[in-house]
Structure 1
Amino acid sequence: MCRHIAYLGPGVPLRDVLVEPAHALYRQSWEPRRQRHGTVNADGFGVGWYAEGDPVPARYRRAGPIWADLSFADLARVVRTGALLAAVRDATLSGADAEAAAAPYAAGPWLFSHNGAVRGWPGSLGRLAVRLPADELLSLEARNDSALVWALVLRRLRDGDEAGQALADTVLDVAAAAPGSRLNLLLTDGETVCATAWGDTLWYLADPGRQRTVVASEPYDDDPAWREVPDRTVLAATRTDVLLTPLKEPSA
Structure 2
Amino acid sequence: MCRHLAYVGPATPIARLLTDPPHSLFRQSWAPRRQRYGTVNADGFGIGWYAEGDPVPARYRRAGPIWGDQSFADLARVVRTGALLGAVRDATRAGADGEAAAAPFAAGAWLFSHNGAVLGWPHSLAPLTRGLPAAELLSLEARCDSALVWALVLQRLRTGDDEGRALADTVLEVAEAAPGSRLNLLLTDGGTITATAWGDTLWYLAEPGRGTVVASEPYDDDPRWQEVPDRTLLVATRTDVLLTPLKDPHDRQGVPDHEDPHHPMASARPKEPST
- The residue number in structure 1 matching 2:184 is 184
Highest CA radius of gyration, 1 or 2? Answer: 2
Give the partner amino acid of 2:30. W
Structure 1: how far apart are the matches of 2:3 and 2:129?
26
Secondary structure of 2:175 counterpart: helix
1:34-92 deviation per Cα after TM superposition (whole angstroms, max 9, x unaligned): 00000000000000000000000000000000000010011001110000000000011
Structure 2: how far apart are the matches of 1:96 and 1:128?
23
Structure 1: how far apart are the matches of 2:27 and 2:239?
27
Q: How many residues align?
A: 251
Unaligned ranges ≥5, structure 1: none
Structure 1: how far apart are the matches of 2:91 and 2:120?
15
Task: Give the ranges of 4+ consecutive aligned residues of structure 1 lying more than 3 Å apart after TM superposition.
Answer: none
Give the partner amino acid of 2:61. R
Unaligned ranges ≥5, structure 2: 251-261, 263-275
User: CA shift at 1:17, angstroms?
Assistant: 0.3
Give the partner amino acid of 1:88. V
Give the partner amino acid of 1:13. P
Are 1:234 and 2:233 matched, yes or no? yes
- The residue number in structure 2 matching 1:249 is 248
Give the partner amino acid of 1:151. A
Secondary structure of 1:15 counterpart: helix
User: CA shift at 1:127, angstroms?
Assistant: 1.1
Structure 1: how far apart are the matches of 2:136 and 2:205?
35
Structure 2: how far apart are the matches of 1:87 and 1:95?
18
User: CA shift at 1:250, angstroms?
Assistant: 1.2
Q: Higher RCO, 1 or 2 (CA under 8 Å, sep at least 6)?
A: 1
- The residue number in structure 1 matching 2:26 is 26
Secondary structure of 1:64 counterpart: coil
Structure 2: how far apart are the matches of 1:38 and 1:126?
25
Structure 2: how far apart are the matches of 1:136 and 1:154?
10
1:172-219 deviation per Cα after TM superposition (whole angstroms, max 9, x unaligned): 00000000000000000000000000000000001014x110000000
Structure 2: how far apart are the matches of 1:117 and 1:66?
21
Structure 1: how far apart are the matches of 2:166 and 2:151?
11
User: Counterparts in 2 of 1:140-219, with a 5 A limit?
Assistant: 140-209=140-209, 211-219=210-218
User: CA shift at 1:130, angstroms?
Assistant: 1.1
Structure 2: how far apart are the matches of 1:127 and 1:16?
43
